[in-house]
């Protein structure tokens, strides 16, 4: 009798990049998916909200799939408003979130 041990599948590992190029209505950020968690990453991007800890149920960008770095351009934001952003990566096991970044949009 042989025993085979299958690899445990987990959610991906993702970090959020620092927000740059901030104007009154746009900003640039992104993320880095460093591990797929045993299943392919089927979606990745950045969640954005005016409340802390945004999720994929919030407004979000979609920036492809798989591992590696990606860039998200956030547009249509409101001047003088504080936004919270964090990268996400989803595989068949679930969705992982990166560290939260806070950005205050500039005065027009």
Tens digit of each residue's pLDDT (9 = 90 or more) over 20-59: 999 999 999 999 999 999 999 999 999 999 999 999 999 9
The CATH number of 13-104, from 3.40.50.300, 2.60.40.10, 3.40.50.11540, 3.90.1150.10, is 2.60.40.10
pLDDT at position 7, please?
Answer: 72
**Is 1's pLDDT higher than 70?**
no
Measured from the Cβ of residue 27, the count of other Cβ atoms closer than 10 Å reads: 23
The percentage of the chain sitting over the pLDDT mark of 70, rounded to a whole number, equals 94
Are the C-beta atoms of 53 and 76 separated by less than 8 Å?
Answer: no
Split at pLDDT 50, 70, 90, the class of 67 is: very high
1/101 Cα distance (integer angstroms): 52
Question: Which residues does residue 72 pair with via DSSP β-bridges, in sequence order?
Answer: 29
Q: Token pair for residue 44?
A: 């990745």
Q: What's the whole-model pTM score?
A: 0.92
The residue assigned the tokens 């992982």 is 96
Q: What would the mean pLDDT of 61-83 be, rounded to a whole number?
A: 97
**Is 6's pLDDT higher than 70?**
no
């Amino acid at each position: 009798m042989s025993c085979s041990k299958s690899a445990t599948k987990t959610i991906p590992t993702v970090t959020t990049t620092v927000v740059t190029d901030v104007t009154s209505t746009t900003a640039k950020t992104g993320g880095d998916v460093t591990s797929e968690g045993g299943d392919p990453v089927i979606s990745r991007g950045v969640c954005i909200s005016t409340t802390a800890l945004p999720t994929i149920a919030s407004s979000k960008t979609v920036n492809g799939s798989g591992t590696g770095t990606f860039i998200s351009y956030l547009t249509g934001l409101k001047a003088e408003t504080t936004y919270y952003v964090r990268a996400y990566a989803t595989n068949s096991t679930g969705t992982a979130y990166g560290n939260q970044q806070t950005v205050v949009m500039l005065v027009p």
